[in-house]
């Protein structure tokens, strides 16, 4: 009998993978965690039946959420990741000369699952520069400061992640950042969730002097075209020269394109330039 996993990306759209094996399922205190071995996309991690990553294409998301802000900053030594319990973002951040990475993940079980089933993704979590907190990122940023870069590598705005998509949260991150600090958040699909993308941009730009969006094609995320939104206190990402910064090994991110990543398809720039929702 054929086995399939399907994610309902909307009520009317689903993406399905033929699977070889169900490797793990567990209901944690926060969400249903599952790991599947698929025919064509390697191993996949789902939370509440939503794809977090596949071993086939995870590098696109993890490189783009990490290297674009890190190169924009150019000298980040203290970085905060909110969510990101699979470890992919931390793995990429460790390619930079950082001194300290704080990972704030609400669900310990996600980290345990990734350590067991995704060793090539979770490999950086035991690095001595990484400190892991099992806490709610929304509360954490109210009490902790001194970060050069904050990355919000969260689930969609459902359940515990709702508050990570709000102007109030962005204000707290602004306070948690150093003078030249930068925030980047994963900000959903402009094709399927246009009103949400618009609202996120509006909220972040009400807090940060420079707010810029960039995008990447991530085949296994809803709508395939995915956005990231950057809020910056003093550095204008459109002017930042990155050619002299240390080399990093990547599979998707290209340093030559650093400034061009912020040039959006017209339908996305039109979407966010209209400030009404």
Please check whether residue 36 is in contact with residue 17, taking contact to mean a CB–CB distance below 8 angstroms: yes
Q: Is 151 in the site for ligand SAM (CB under 6 A)?
A: no
**Interaction between residue 112 and ligand SAM (CB under 6 A):** no
* Among 185, 267, 225, 252, residue whose Cα is nearest residue 9: 225
Query: Which tokens sit at 213?
Result: 């969006």
- Does position 157 interact with ligand SAM (CB under 6 A)? The reply is no
Task: Name which of 62 and 198 has its Cβ closer to ligand SAM.
Answer: 62
What secondary structure, in 3-state letters, does 125-166 show? HHCCCEEEECCCHHHHHHHCCCEEEEEEECCCCCHHHHHHCC
153 is annotated as an active-site residue:
yes
Which of the ranges 47-55, 94-102, 175-183, 230-238 carries the binding residues for ligand SAM, by CB under 6 A?
47-55
CB of 154 to ligand SAM, least distance (A): 4
Interface with ligand SAM, residue 84, by CB under 6 A: yes
Task: Kindly state the DSSP code that residue 243 receives in the 8-state scheme.
Answer: T
Order of strands across the sheet that contains 14-27: 3-8, 14-27, 32-38, 43-47, 50-54
136 binds ligand SAM (CB under 6 A): yes
Which residue in this structure is represented by tokens 């910064």?
A: 245
3-state secondary structure at position 108:
helix
| Only segment of 77-85, 123-131, 231-239, 248-256 that touches ligand SAM (CB under 6 A) | 77-85
Among 76, 98, 106, 150, binds ligand SAM (CB under 6 A): 106
By beta-carbon proximity to ligand SAM, the closer residue of 169 and 174 is 169
d(CA 220, CA 218): 6
The answer to whether 189 and 32 are in contact (CB under 8 A) is: no
Does 186 contact ligand SAM by CB under 6 A?
Answer: yes
| Residue whose CB is less far from ligand SAM, 107 or 148 | 107
Cα pseudo-dihedral 160, 166, 171, 176, rounded to 10: 30
Applying CB under 6 A, the span of 149-157, 168-176, 194-202, 240-248 interacting with ligand SAM comes to 149-157
Q: Is 117 within 8 Å of 24 (Cβ atoms)? A: yes
Catalytic residue among 86, 153, 156, 203: 153
**The only residue of 34, 43, 63, 83 in contact with ligand SAM, by rule CB under 6 A:** 83
Give how many residues touch ligand SAM by CB under 6 A.
25
Q: Which residues form the catalytic set?
A: 153
Under the rule (CB under 6 A), what is the footprint of ligand SAM? Answer: 30, 47, 52-53, 61, 82-86, 104-107, 110, 136-138, 153-155, 160-161, 164, 186
């Amino acid at each position: 009998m054929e086995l399939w996993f399907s994610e309902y990306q909307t009520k009317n759209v689903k993406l399905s993978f033929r699977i070889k094996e169900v490797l793990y399922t567990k209901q944690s205190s926060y969400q249903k965690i599952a790991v599947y071995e698929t025919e064509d996309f390697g191993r996949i991690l789902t939370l509440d039946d939503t794809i977090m990553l596949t071993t086939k294409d995870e590098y696109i998301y993890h490189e783009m959420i990490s290297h674009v802000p890190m190169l924009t900053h150019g000298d980040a030594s203290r970085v905060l990741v909110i969510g990101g319990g699979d470890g992919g973002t931390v793995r990429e951040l460790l390619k930079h000369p950082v001194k300290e990475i704080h990972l704030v993940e609400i669900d310990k079980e996600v980290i345990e699952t990734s350590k067991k089933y995704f060793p090539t993704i979770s490999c950086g979590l035991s690095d001595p520069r990484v400190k892991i907190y099992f806490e709610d990122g929304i509360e954490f940023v109210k009490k902790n400061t001194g970060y050069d870069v904050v990355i919000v590598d969260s689930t969609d705005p459902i359940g515990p992640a709702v508050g990570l998509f709000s102007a109030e949260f962005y204000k707290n991150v602004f306070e948690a950042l150093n003078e030249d600090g930068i925030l980047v958040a994963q900000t959903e699909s402009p094709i399927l969730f246009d009103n949400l993308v618009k609202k996120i941009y509006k909220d972040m730009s009400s807090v940060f002097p420079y707010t810029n969006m960039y995008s990447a094609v991530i085949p296994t995320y809803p709508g395939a075209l995915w956005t990231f939104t950057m809020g910056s206190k003093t550095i204008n990402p459109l002017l930042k020269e990155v050619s002299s910064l240390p080399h990093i090994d990547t599979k998707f991110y290209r340093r030559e394109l650093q400034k061009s990543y912020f040039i959006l398809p017209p339908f996305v720039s039109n979407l966010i330039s209209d400030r009404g929702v």
